[in-house]
Amino acid sequence: MASPLSNFSLLTDDLLFRILDKITSTSDRKNFRLVSKDFHRFDSIHRKTLKLLRLEFANSLLHKFSQINALDLSTCPRIDDATISSILLTSRFSNSLSWTLNIKKLVLSNATGLRSKGLELLMRFCINLEAIDVSDCWEFGDLEACALACGLGLREVRMDKCVKVTDVGLARIVVGCGKLERLSLRWCMEISDLGIDLLSKKCHHLRFLDISYLKVTNRSLFSIASLGKLKSLSMVGCSLLDDVGMKYLGRGCPLLQVLDVSRCNGISSYGLTLVLKVHSGLQQLGAGYCFADLSADLIYSLKNLGSLNLIKFDGARLSDSKFLSISLYCKQLVEVGLSKCIGVADEGIIQLASGCVNLKILDLTCCNLITDIGISAIADCCTNLVSLKVESCNLITEKGLERLGHSCLLIEELDLTDCSGVDDTGLCTNVHDKGLSHIGQNFSMICELDLYRCEGIRDEGLAALSGGCRKLKILNLSYCRAITDEGIQHLSNFEDLSVLEMRSLINITCSGMTIVAAGCKKLLDLDLKFCRNIDDSGFWALAYYSRNLQQINISHCGISDVGLCMVLGNLTCLQDAKLLHLTKVSVEGFELALRACYMRLKKVKLLSSLRSLLSAEILKMLQGRGCKIKWH
């Protein structure tokens, strides 16, 4: 009898590539590679993106996956000029530089040690580069911007929080990168109207622009209005803009489809209406925390926006009559943000749900007048719902959850923080294991679940949850203090879990922590603050099994000198550590542990009392590698 594997030989290369196109899950791709050597080879050829976790494997992986067009180094520690030079030189000597010719997108966010020389090398070798992300590289300045300007083919540049880049650096980029279509300057506080004006004159192909939190004035909006191809403009938190600037914007940018003016306190309903009346092609509108009330004219102007699929009016006052108008004018809505809105009650939600049946994402955070009646209307009308946030909606009970579970089978994100009955301690006590059982039985697609301060949840609830929600990636169990080791062991069933918050789970010991670490090997972010009963043996398990951890909070834990050195030394992907109030760790323990990981850490949080006790040498070593130390 022929081996089942021999049948795979009948599959053509083209058919195998088509199969791979359909496999999006990382674990499924891994299983595909394990089928045979041929399947492994096909995956290597087919792979188009590569995210490196460890630099020691960089050259071998880049040689193996030479066909990739996107390289992500954002989670890779120790990225600096010497690292980039070493990778490129090794590739040249081994005759394997072909990957540089195929790279079109490069992600270098959080590469705090990288400077202009390393960037210039990348620009010189990656001649077909079209997109680069250097967000959160807070040491980047005008020299680094000049290096980016060497990328003549760049169409997309993200520079969020590159706080040292000035108008001079921006000028070099816009002059050198004439093909620029997408630019994000979020939190680049040194850029002014002068830089935006030059940008508007030089980058005629610009389609996406983010100037959020810049100290720009209406003069910038006057310049931006001349961008005839601009489709998306985000200017969140630009406090110096007002209705005069909106008038300028209303006269230009004829192709505008996305506009976000959230937290622009100087802009009124009238100013926003001036834009909405003209730009009938608008598809997404963000106006959260912008004004206290929505005028009747603003609501009526939504009637012109036949393609509108997203609105965010967070923090505004909304009456039932305005909900009726929105449901009549905006039937194509897919996402609605109403976080902390005043006056949102069941009647308004019923009108919204009945008129906007295509809703997939709904944020009702702190809309605490909503009851199970409103949730039932959402469940009955919006069956395609994917994300629902009802944090602090404390009139919702398990009946509402049950109704959601029966109707909204596609839900992937559910936020129940502080909802369903709050007692005088401020903790949720009415979401019990029964409610969690409904989630486990009905929300099989759920990827993110927030149960922060749901104290009624116990071990049985976690057992029920783990039986049905196998796709869970993000879970918050903080302050669910009734959970013990017996319940926490069920988390090992969530093989794809990447973010886990279990702050103040006082009944969890090293035994439970060991089971979680051994089962959840994809953990990237772990919060164990106030888990006082987890001692060194639990952290040893973490150091052995959780090698992909990038962020950890072990403040107020029972770890000692030895345990801390083991954790920080063995977790080779660790970049962010919060280490407050570790009473069993001595100054010498902190010193040794920080020396073991100083080349990897990008952020560390320490008690301010340690500043004068730690050696000047270790502090200099950390800061020299671009590590940001936050003293508490």
pLDDT of residue 371: 92
CA-CA distance, 597 to 618, in Å (whole number)? 11
Half-sphere exposure of 199 (CA within 13 A, CB side): 33
CA angle 365, 371, 375 (to 5 degrees): 75
pLDDT tens digit sequence for 177-207: 999 999 999 999 999 999 999 999 999 999 9
Give the pair of three-digit tokens for residue 123.
């620009």
489: Cβ–Cβ under 8 A, 6 or more apart, which residues?
512, 515, 516
Average pLDDT over residues 332-361: 96
Average pLDDT over residues 160-178: 95
Q: Which amino acid is it at 576?
A: D
Q: Does residue 8 carry a pLDDT above 70?
A: no
pLDDT tens digit sequence for 514-523: 999 999 989 9
583: Cβ–Cβ under 8 A, 6 or more apart, which residues?
none
pLDDT of residue 578: 97
Q: Does residue 1 carry a pLDDT above 60?
A: no
Question: Model confidence at 467, in pLDDT bands (50, 70, 90)?
Answer: confident
CA-CA distance, 450 to 288, in Å (whole number)? 23
For the chain, the C-alpha Rg in angstroms (whole number) is 26
- Average pLDDT of the chain is 90
CA-CA distance, 396 to 608, in Å (whole number)? 42
CA proximity to 422, closest of 446, 392, 442 = 392
pLDDT of residue 456: 83
CA-CA distance, 575 to 78, in Å (whole number)? 10
24: Cβ–Cβ under 8 A, 6 or more apart, which residues?
none
Question: Model confidence at 77, in pLDDT bands (50, 70, 90)?
Answer: low
Q: What is the DSSP letter of 278?
A: T
Is the pLDDT higher at 254 or at 40?
Answer: 254
Percent of the chain with pLDDT over 70: 96
pLDDT of residue 3: 52
161: Cβ–Cβ under 8 A, 6 or more apart, which residues?
135, 136, 137, 138, 186, 187, 188
CA-CA distance, 569 to 577, in Å (whole number)? 12
Q: Does residue 607 carry a pLDDT above 50?
A: yes
Q: Does residue 154 carry a pLDDT above 90?
A: yes
CA-CA distance, 81 to 86, in Å (whole number)? 9
pLDDT of residue 335: 98
CA proximity to 168, closest of 195, 144, 187, 150 = 195
Per the CB < 8 A criterion, the answer to whether 618 and 594 are in contact is yes
618: Cβ–Cβ under 8 A, 6 or more apart, which residues?
591, 594, 595, 598
CA distances (Å), origin 565, targets 53, 74, 590:
21, 25, 8
pLDDT of residue 431: 63
pLDDT of residue 425: 36
Half-sphere exposure of 115 (CA within 13 A, CB side): 8
Per the CB < 8 A criterion, the answer to whether 255 and 281 are in contact is yes
Q: What is the DSSP letter of 627?
A: P
pLDDT of residue 346: 95
pLDDT tens digit sequence for 266-275: 999 999 999 9
pLDDT of residue 542: 93
- Give the 3-state secondary structure of residue 196: helix
Average pLDDT over residues 417-440: 61
Per the CB < 8 A criterion, the answer to whether 431 and 416 are in contact is yes
Question: Model confidence at 551, in pLDDT bands (50, 70, 90)?
Answer: very high
Q: Does residue 430 carry a pLDDT above 70?
A: no
Tell me how crowded residue 204 is: count the other CB atoms within 10 A of its CB: 12
CA-CA distance, 272 to 432, in Å (whole number)? 44
Question: Model confidence at 428, in pLDDT bands (50, 70, 90)?
Answer: very low
CA proximity to 161, closest of 197, 210, 231 = 210
Q: Does residue 24 carry a pLDDT above 70?
A: yes
Q: What is the pTM of this model?
A: 0.86
185: Cβ–Cβ under 8 A, 6 or more apart, which residues?
159, 160, 170, 191, 209, 210, 211, 214
Q: What is the DSSP letter of 493?
A: G
Tell me how crowded residue 279 is: count the other CB atoms within 10 A of its CB: 22
Average pLDDT over residues 298-308: 94
CA proximity to 496, closest of 461, 458, 448, 531 = 448
CA-CA distance, 293 to 342, in Å (whole number)? 9
Per the CB < 8 A criterion, the answer to whether 387 and 412 are in contact is yes
CA proximity to 144, closest of 171, 189, 174, 114 = 114
Give the pair of three-digit tokens for residue 214.
């810049």
Question: Model confidence at 227, in pLDDT bands (50, 70, 90)?
Answer: very high
pLDDT tens digit sequence for 483-504: 999 999 999 999 899 999 999 9
Per the CB < 8 A criterion, the answer to whether 554 and 529 are in contact is yes
> Which of these ranges, 276-290, 300-314, 399-413, 549-563, has the smallest mean pLDDT?
399-413
Q: What is the DSSP letter of 408?
A: -
Per the CB < 8 A criterion, the answer to whether 497 and 473 are in contact is yes
pLDDT of residue 234: 98
CA proximity to 87, closest of 101, 99, 75, 104 = 99
Average pLDDT over residues 126-131: 96
> Which of these ranges, 310-314, 570-574, 603-607, has the smallest mean pLDDT?
570-574
10: Cβ–Cβ under 8 A, 6 or more apart, which residues?
none
